[in-house]
Amino acid sequence: MKQEILTITENRQLTPSTWLMRMAGDVSAIKAPGQFINIRLDGHFLRRPISVCDVSSDEVTIIYKVLGHGTEEMTHFSPGAKLDVLTGLGNGYDLDDAGERPLLIGGGVGIPPLYLATRCLAKADTTVILGFNSEDEIYYVDEFEKLGARVIVATADGSRGVRGFVTDAFRELVNKGEIFTHFYTCGPEPMLKAVYERVYEKAGISGQMSFEERMGCGFGACMGCSTKTKNGNKRICKEGPVLRTEEIIW
């Protein structure tokens, strides 16, 4: 983990509620897809944890949804503004287990960390299922396609792609006889639970799931994010946010 002052280079709206921010500076502590950064905002005691969507030698990209005061304030930052950021937090996804046909499943604000994972899996035959509530919330589909992945969109209201949830899109693939070697997922907890039941328990595919737990310190000091697993208690900010299907207790 490093504490850095990063300079905003871009902050633009992608959908009515979702924004993309790029920040330049020392981002060398970011080592794996699925890691997150923790942003200090003036007037707020707790930092705001946001997943790394992409990273280069000197720039990190995040995508954030406007939820409360903190993320609303972030929409007003202009290029040139400086932010105090903890970088390189969490364990991230282990891509060594991906195999030849990995499946990535993202929902809503759980989609960003899967972008870097997909980019790092460039040589694999990668399928990405992206779930949204409706067409106006869709973002980053073209960017995933440009990485060479097959992208399947599911919308809850059926306004684009498969009607229903990411698990409905997965069922269609399985019904066509498709086989996957491993899966990676991130999204709201009800989605994660449905993916666990459908993809791991029913279809027998092992995977790695990223949890967006509420956090205190974000770097392992306060135990505020401690959660029970089959391998004992784990701090989601430090030994997570990615847990393996085999160790998760719902």
Ligand X SMILES: Cc1cc2nc3c(=O)[nH]c(=O)nc-3n(C[C@H](O)[C@H](O)[C@H](O)COP(=O)(O)OP(=O)(O)OC[C@H]3O[C@@H](n4cnc5c(N)ncnc54)[C@H](O)[C@@H]3O)c2cc1C
CB 210 → ligand FES: shortest distance, Å? 14
151 binds ligand FES (CB under 6 A): no
Which string of DSSP letters, residue by residue, matches 142-154? HHHHHTT-EEEEE
Interacting residue with ligand X among 23, 30, 50, 173 (CB under 6 A): 50
Partner interacting with residue 217 (select from ligand X, ligand FES, none; CB below 5-8 Å by kind): ligand FES
**Spatial separation of the C-alpha atoms in residues 155 and 186, rounded to whole Å:** 16
> Where do we find the tokens 């799931």?
209
**CA 34 – CA 110 distance, rounded (Å):** 10
Could you say whether residue 220 binds ligand FES (CB under 6 A)?
yes
Beta partners for 20?
12, 63
87 touches ligand X by CB under 6 A: no
Does position 130 interact with ligand FES (CB under 6 A)? The reply is no
Binding span for ligand FES by CB under 6 A among 95-103, 162-170, 201-209, 210-218 = 210-218
- Is residue 235 part of the contact set for ligand FES (CB under 6 A)? yes
- By the rule CB under 6 A, 46 interacts with ligand FES: no
Q: Are 170 and 196 in contact (CB under 8 A)?
A: no
Tell me the sheet residues that pair with 18. Answer: 15, 65
Residue 36 in the binding site for ligand X (CB under 6 A): yes
Give the range of 67-75, 129-137, 159-167, 189-197 binding ligand X by CB under 6 A. Answer: 67-75
Q: What are phi and psi of 48, to 5 degrees?
A: -105, 115
Adjacent-strand bridge partners of 24: 7, 59
Residue 16 touching ligand X (CB under 6 A): no
Residues 6+ apart with CB under 8 A from 70: 41, 44, 48
Between CA 80 and CA 76 the distance in angstroms is: 12
Is 223 a binding residue for ligand X by CB under 6 A? The answer is: no
Contact code string over 126-165 relative to ligand X, x by CB under 6 A = ----------------------------------------
Tokens of 62: 């995040």
On whether the CB atoms of residues 222 and 34 are closer than 8 A, the answer is: no
| Residue 54 binding: pick among ligand FES, ligand X, none (C-beta 5-8 Å cut-off by kind) | none
Pair of tokens at residue 155: 């919308």
| Site of interaction with ligand X (CB under 6 A) | 36, 46, 48-51, 62-65, 67-71, 109, 112, 212-215, 241
| Site of interaction with ligand FES (CB under 6 A) | 215-218, 220-225, 235, 237
